[in-house]
Every structure is written in C-alpha cells, then in structure tokens.
Amino acid sequence: MDNRPIGLFDSGVGGLSIWRTIRKLLPDESLDFLADSGHVPYGEKSTAELCDLASRITRFLLDGDAKLVVVACNTATVHALAHLRETFPQTPFVGVVPVVKTLSSRTRTGTIAVLSTPATSSSEYLAGLIREFAPDKEVVNVGCDGLENMVEAGEVRTRATTALLERHLAPVKASRADVVGLGCTHFPFLRHRIKNMLGPGVRVYDPSRPVARRVRQLLEERDELASNAAPRFRFYTTGDADLVQMVARKLLRTTAPRVKHVEI
C-alpha cells in the first residue's frame, strides 16, 4: 500500500479528461494535477522544448512526492516520454497516445480517423503506430490546430468552436471512416459535439479508460495502490490560476478545485 499521490500533467486543462477517469476508477488515490497553461499549446512546440518542460514538471511532481506520473497529454507523450523514462529511471510513467490499434480492430469500412494536435499528427510516433497497427487501413489523419485553445478557454459551445470543428471534421465526413480516435486529451470535452456532428454511423474513441486501467495495473504490480479514507486533490498551473479554476469547474461540472499558480 502507498498513499502518496499520483501526479498528472498536461499543457492545460485537457488532462482533466484523464484525471476524472482515474478519479472514478481509483477513488482512494490522492491526485496532484499540473496544467502547464503558461506554455500552452504544446501542439506548436519542438521536441526539445517539450522534453525540457516535461522534465521540469516531472521534477515538480516528484518534489510533491508523486509515486507515479501520468503524462496526460498525447503531444508530450509522443515527443517526451522516452526522454522522461531515461531522465527519471526510478519513476513509473504512464503516457497517452492515439488509439490506432483499437480503431484498426473496430473499423468495418477499413477507414479510420485520428484527430490530434498538429505536433502529434505530424509526429514520427503516430506514423509508427499507423505503420504497426493499421498498415492495411486508410487513415484520415487530422491535425486540428486551434481546437485545444478553445477548450483551454472554456469555449466548448461557442460559434467559433463550431466553425473550427466543422473545418476539422470535414475530411472525416468526406471519407468512409466509421471510427474516430481522439488523439488530444482536450478533445473528450468536445466528444458529444463531435459525435453529433459526425452522426450515428461513426463511433468515437477516447483513451482515458485504457490509461486509467494501465495506472491501476502498474500500481497493483508494484503493490502501491492507496487506501486513503480522504484522498487529497491538488491542482497547480503555470498560467492564470483564476482562469484555470473557472474552466476546470466548468469542464468537471463541480465547485472544486482550488488552483494554485506555480513556477516550474
């Protein structure tokens, strides 16, 4: 048993889609979440910049006594997870990547679609996943620039978001894709809108549950599951704490959390 917190981070509030699933699956765990809103969006940064930010954030979470770190961001995972594992060999990490394997096994039409940030969309990592798991599939790979910024601003229902969604979903609609993977942790907060816009013939997959199950499995293997009677949730941001708090409350539909500004 280990009552230390699980640490999670994202470029912003998107990782809360992973946070809420871990919270549900592992209700006794304390969670420390850092939204790196001072440096959002990650989708437009270089690998070197992402490795540097991810390392500094990991150090911050480890200083807070994290027993495991969840990289709750596809962009940081595909660009920086290998670097983190090398830099912090004692720390268990769980990352999140587009669910290409699942999409490939579920499609009936042979066409799959992946929605992610421009950096994930053009990454060698995603190209490798496609080569490995979907070599015989047609892949609609959309780098959805700007979309994470709308979620970051709490704008999930505005006209501007609808216009962006229409633009990014157009190639999916024009294809025979019957399965779509959400390859950015901000996008599950737009899941219902995406589903409605694509219609009932298209299934939408998000990786939050597999990630939460992987966290549980790792903690079980290491005998580090917690049994906190009153688990503690701490929220940090490198950006504007009031804004992150307002948006987090909106996305999580709760009066918690209190968010603290930190420098990393």
Residues with a known catalytic role: 73, 184
Dist. CA 212–CA 67, nearest whole Å: 15
Shortest distance, CB of residue 247 to ligand DGL, whole angstroms? 13
Dihedral sign of CA atoms 194, 198, 199, 203 in order = negative
**DSSP codes of every residue in 138-177:** EEEEEE-TTHHHHHHTT-SSSHHHHHHHHHHHHHHHTS--
Contacts of 171 (CB under 8 A, 6+ apart): 113, 140, 142
- Contact between 179 and ligand DGL by CB under 6 A: the answer reads no
Indicate which single residue of 5, 7, 43, 188 sits in contact with ligand DGL (rule: CB under 6 A). 43
- Contact between 79 and ligand DGL by CB under 6 A: the answer reads no
Residue with tokens 């950006």: 239
Nearer CB in complex with ligand DGL: 13/202 = 13
H-run or E-run covering 113: strand 111-116
- Using CB under 6 A as the binding rule, the residues of this chain from 117 to 176 that contact ligand DGL are 117, 120, 148
Nearer CB in complex with ligand DGL: 39/137 = 39
- Contact between 14 and ligand DGL by CB under 6 A: the answer reads yes
Peptide bond into 188 cis (omega under 30): no
Which DSSP state fits 184?
A: S
Is residue 200 classed as helix, strand or coil in its secondary structure?
Answer: coil
Nearer CB in complex with ligand DGL: 98/257 = 98
Which DSSP state fits 256?
A: P
- Using CB under 6 A as the binding rule, the residues of this chain from 205 to 264 that contact ligand DGL are none
Binding mask 93-122 for ligand DGL (x = CB under 6 A): ------------------------x--x--
Indicate which single residue of 16, 29, 186, 247 sits in contact with ligand DGL (rule: CB under 6 A). 186
Which DSSP state fits 13?
A: G
Closest CA to 244 of 166, 175, 113, 151: 151
- Contact between 42 and ligand DGL by CB under 6 A: the answer reads yes
Which DSSP state fits 44?
A: G
- Contact between 37 and ligand DGL by CB under 6 A: the answer reads no
Distance, C-alpha 262 to centroid of its chain: 21
Nearer CB in complex with ligand DGL: 42/235 = 42
Nearer CB in complex with ligand DGL: 40/150 = 40
Half-sphere exposure of 66 (CA within 13 A, CB side): 27
Nearer CB in complex with ligand DGL: 11/104 = 11
Indicate which single residue of 75, 104, 141, 238 sits in contact with ligand DGL (rule: CB under 6 A). 75
- Contact between 11 and ligand DGL by CB under 6 A: the answer reads yes
Which amino acid, residue 18? I
- Contact between 41 and ligand DGL by CB under 6 A: the answer reads yes
Residues that bind ligand DGL (CB under 6 A): 10-12, 14, 40-43, 73-75, 117, 120, 148, 184-186
